[in-house]
Chain A
Amino acid sequence: MPGAIHAEGLVKTFGDVKALDGVDLDVPEGTVLGLLGPNGAGKTTAVRCLTTLLRPDRGKAVVAGIDVLERPDAVRRSIGLSGQFAAVDEYLTGRENLQMVGQLYRMRARAAKARADELLEQFHLADAADRTAKTYSGGMRRRLDLAAALVVSPPVMFMDEPTTGLDPRNRQELWGVIKELVSGGTTLLLTTQYLEEADHLAHDIAVVDHGRVIAQGTSDQLKARTGGERVEVVVHERQRIQEASALLDRFGLPGPGRGGTQVEEHMRKITTPVSGGAKLLAEIIRELDVRGIEIDDIGLRRPTLDDVFLSLTGHAPATEGEDGERPGAGRGGTGQGRPHRKETAQ
């Protein structure tokens, strides 16, 4: 049974550029899929194809059980879209914007007005309801845009980089809104460049690069693909490294795809892939203590989605104002002092 959003082999070419190169997606009803990728990976194009804004050259897409290519008008009645740029009229007030959208969803004028008031209240825009959107801050516009996408509580929502350009506080607030929306049963496809965001909001993550889905799974599954957890120990005395390394080896899980225990002599650092988390860490500390091996630092490192991306694509995901590779970032994310510390996973 296909999910609320289902795509098969979507291809879209703009001139010489293959924006989508055979994208397959499936989002079960009531879940959130995070489409994660750098600028230009094809995330927006995928959203535009699924929301009837763009016709794919090839492929098939079904949203809310309706064929997107055959019945785009019916699809439009079942979706809400919050695009990358706040889609509001700046010369209209917040209330007028929402009322207009409600009426275009064929609500009666009075019902549209009531719904607009309700949304303004929910999105903390009631005080600014009668000011033109031009006077709104970036966060307020985003909230207004999201409110506009939710006028009719569509069963399927698309959000294209909903928090791009927002300050941390506004981002947190928007995350709250999105979580609540999803808890109400809405199916959501969300694109983001922020690994943290996908980690935080999505049940499933599809990593996109050069118009293709290069990996898909839960945040934990993706992290596991990159090598799971590692214990990193920095011993105090260089001559005890071998001893400590042998000890750590006993706790480690060497196996295919795993590097086993690695030693970086000059930094007096030992890294071992493990499973078992914090409990294991306590055991290791005890064992080291029993042997009198002094340590400067010990920690459990979980791979971040940054590491996942790096190991999948060979380059770091572009962040704002920076695209392309990050110099010096080694494959697998260890050893080069990338200080990502992720305490908990979902």
Chain B
Amino acid sequence: MSAVTDAVRIAAPGNPLVQSVRDSLIVAKRNLIRMARIPEVIIFGLVQPIMFVVLFSYVFGGSMNIGGTTSPQVYREFLMAGIFAQTVTFATAGAGAGIAEDMHKGLIDRFRSLPMARGAVLTGRTLADLVQTALTLLVLAVVALLVGWRTHTGAGEVLAAFGLLLLSGYAFTWIGAVIGLSVRTPEAATSGGLVWLFPVTFVSNAFVDTDQMTPWLRHIAEWNPFSATVQACRELFGNPGVSTSDAWPMQHPVWASLIWSVLIILFFRTLAVHKYRSAAS
């Protein structure tokens, strides 16, 4: 067994940004291979939002007052932006659990002893989650079309809405990364990644018209970053229920959604990378 062959030279450090992108993509590829080999994760990830689409459409449709009508068809079109947005935020739990699991396996020592970009392990994971989110959204959009959801705008606007959804989902995976780096077990990251998402996604305009909320709750809902994305999608899809509130995020939902997402990414990515670097597992 000959362990030693001609010495393989270790490349000198290159452009840090290029290296960071390259390393992130290498790690993303590793995570995508894993996802493909554990398809249960993706399949169960799809079941929940599909169930929400069907349950909300048929159970709540007909009893919800959206813009003065309780038509089930109007509620279905109203609902989809909310379900899409909720689904992308749920990627938080997956990212958190994945990172928590990695941090407690020997592999992380390998990564941390390699001359690779420091944030690449986390960025690679969030990029792989983004791919999974895109896949989930695609399936969900098909199901939504099947239950009667329609868009009433051009292809550009519809694509822009999905773009905003993906960006927002990507931002939330960084929150997941911080959670994953703060807990001791993947199980804790899963539940820790989910519990706070219920108030965030329900105290919002996703499932009900905020006009019917008590004023203090309505203010929270209107400034909720999540609501901005939902409102922006409704506008871009041409779906009913666009809030006429004069709160700034409701007036400029596309900008509000973009700004929120970028701020979340900047803040939580910085925090996550710092936590990763100082982790002494």
Contact = CB atoms under 8 A, between A and B. Distances in A.
Interface in A143-168: 145-146, 148, 150-154
- Nearest 5 pairs between A and B by C-beta? A184-B4, A85-B106, A87-B110, A87-B106, A106-B11
A76 B5 contact: no
Size category, A interface? 35 or more
B37 A152 contact: no
A118 B2 CA distance: 10
A96 B27 CA distance: 12
A148 B110 contact: yes
Nearest to A147: B3
Interface in B1-40: 1-11, 13-14, 19, 22-23, 26, 29-30, 33-34, 37-38
A106 B19 contact: yes
Interface in B63-119: 105-116
Interface in A288-322: none
A182 B112 CA distance: 24
A52 B109 CA distance: 10
Contact of B114 (A48, A54, A84, A104): A104
Given A122-B1, A122-B5, A152-B8, 17 more contacts: A53-B109, A53-B113, A53-B280, A77-B115, A81-B110, A87-B105, A87-B108, A89-B34, A101-B114, A104-B26, A104-B111, A106-B10, A106-B115, A123-B1, A151-B8, A153-B8, A183-B4
B4 A181 contact: yes
Interface of A: 48, 51-55, 73, 76-79, 81, 83-89, 91-92, 96, 100-101, 103-107, 111, 115, 118, 122-124, 132, 145-146, 148, 150-154, 173, 176-178, 180-181, 183-184, 186
B31 to A, nearest CB: 9
16 contacts: A52-B113, A54-B280, A73-B13, A77-B13, A83-B109, A87-B106, A104-B23, A104-B111, A104-B116, A105-B115, A106-B19, A148-B110, A150-B3, A173-B1, A180-B3, A181-B4
Interface residues of B, number: 36
A186 B4 CA distance: 9
Contacts of B3: 122-123, 146, 150, 177-178, 180-181, 184
Nearest to A151: B8
Contacts of B23: 104
A180 B1 contact: yes
A154 B10 contact: yes
B2 A87 contact: no
A165 B2 CA distance: 23
Contact of B30 (A100, A151, A176): A100
B4 A180 contact: yes
B4 A78 contact: no
Contacts of B113: 51-53, 76, 79, 81
Interface in B109-149: 109-116
B34 A92 contact: yes
A91 B8 contact: no
Given A87-B106, A89-B107, A100-B26, A76 B4 contact: no
Nearest to A141: B106
Contacts of A173: 1
Interface in B164-212: none
Contact of A176 (B1, B5, B37): B1
Contact of B115 (A55, A76, A176): A76
A48, A52, A105, A106 interface centre (most CB from chain B within 10 Å) = A106
A48 B108 CA distance: 12
Contacts of B19: 106
B37, B115, B280 interface centre (most CB from chain A within 10 Å) = B115
Contacts of B2: 122, 180
B34 A91 contact: yes
Given A84-B106, A106-B10, A106-B14, A177 B115 contact: no
A180 B30 CA distance: 31
A55 B108 CA distance: 16
Given A92-B34, A105-B115, A153 B5 contact: yes
A32 B3 CA distance: 16
B4 A105 contact: no
A73 B10 contact: no
